[in-house]
Structure 1
């Protein structure tokens, strides 16, 4: 479904969605190159965070610090142009989507199927994130630790 407030072309995708798909294609091409280094992936994440609007950048920096402190086994990389963190198998576990990515009113902290957040037959895998606080940091740290356990 196209993002709210986004204009769509005849193919049904907004310009923002098409840009995200192009970013992902470039990421896949980069992954296919032999010798791609973790340092390059980390720099790509830091560069993407630096491009964000100030409020989103602050949130992304805190998410990055919290994820790397609580799950050092995850490797930072970009995923559809978003900061993300992958397990040793290269599967994305957690990602941050800034509000400006698709013109949403909040940023998103999301978890992919590699995250072990299972709780019965229904559990949340996406969280709206508007402000950082000690309570938010504590909850994000708990979720990240659970996701990699």
Structure 2
């Protein structure tokens, strides 16, 4: 197969490399933590710290998403995942918030892993663009996270 300029692999972006580096640091930090209870508490604090560091528009959305997830799926444990706030069940990420700033995107994303029970027919959404978190959006997120862990 002939290679064309448009199909040439350019490698990972600087943002992707930074996310992978953050993930490695997260794994090392988690391995150094003490008891399971300490790990859960410290991981939750890491998420709140990461949210606090976000630019204002992303921070406001991430705070609301965090509150909705905690209220509607309290069995999910907050943790960082590739430098993003994420929510895990039995140590495996079910959903995450990706700020627009993280990958220089025009919108933030609420994403779900394949562990989320969102299956609907032969095709369903696993990522949702967020430009603001209104009461209507909060209600939709609540339904999604409840379904994801049902």
Fold similarity call, TM over 0.5: yes
1: CA distance, partners of 2:96 / 2:74? 15
- What's the counterpart of residue 22 of structure 2? 23
Quote the offset at 1:57 in angstroms: 0.1
Gaps of 5+ in 1: 1-9
Cα distance change on mapping 1:22 and 1:70 into 2, 3 Å: same
Determine which structure has more spread, i.e. the larger CA radius of gyration.
2
2: CA distance, partners of 1:54 / 1:138? 22
Cα distance change on mapping 1:54 and 1:34 into 2, 3 Å: closer
Gaps of 5+ in 2: 1-8
Tell me the alpha carbon deviations over residues 23-58 of structure 1, each in whole angstroms, 9 at most, x when there is no partner: 001111223235252111011001100110000000
Q: Counterparts in 2 of 1:36-55, with a 5 A limit?
A: 36-55=38-57
Query: What RMSD over aligned residues (CA atoms) do the two structures have, in Å?
Result: 1.3
**Paired residues of 2:43 and 2:78 also in contact (CA < 8 A):** yes
Quote the offset at 1:64 in angstroms: 0.2
TM-score w.r.t. length of structure 1: 0.89
- What's the counterpart of residue 84 of structure 2? 82
TM-score w.r.t. length of structure 2: 0.89
Deviating 4+ runs (over 4 angstroms) = none
Quote the offset at 1:11 in angstroms: 5.8
**Paired residues of 2:86 and 2:94 also in contact (CA < 8 A):** yes
Tell me the alpha carbon deviations over residues 65-116 of structure 1, each in whole angstroms, 9 at most, x when there is no partner: 00000000000000000000000x2110010000000000000000001111
Whose helix proportion is higher, 1 or 2? 2
Q: Counterparts in 2 of 1:1-149, with a 5 A limit?
A: 12-33=11-32, 35=34, 36-87=38-89, 89-149=90-150
